[in-house]
Amino acid sequence: MNIHENIIDLAVDAIIGARDFCGNEQEAVREVAIENGLGAHWQKIHRIARFRANARWNGFQKAAGVSPKHTW
């Protein structure tokens, strides 16, 4: 099953938001999937989005001057 890029982008945003507020990333992605009629595929969406969210998160950390030894 191909998952539209828009859904992945929403899931990445949900992961970043969950990290900002110390929330549950998996639950945030699951909610995005359910809201878009893809609840049965939330785990696949999470795997893809988590990878992209990590890259974005690392960019935020570098921009904030966090030492590379403290980033993932």
pLDDT tens digits along 19-66: 999 999 999 999 999 999 999 999 999 999 999 999 999 999 999 999
Sort residue 19 into left (φ over 0), alpha (ψ -120 to 50) or beta: alpha
pLDDT at 1: 77
pLDDT at 43: 97
**Residue 5 pLDDT class (50, 70, 90 cuts):** very high
* pLDDT score of 71 more than 90: no
Report which of 59, 21, 4 is spatially closest to residue 45, judged by C-alpha positions. 4
Query: How many C-beta neighbours within 10 Å does residue 41 have?
Result: 14
Number of structural domains, the chain? Answer: 1
Domain range holding 30?
A: 5-70
- How far, in Å, CA of 49 to CA of 52, rounded? 5
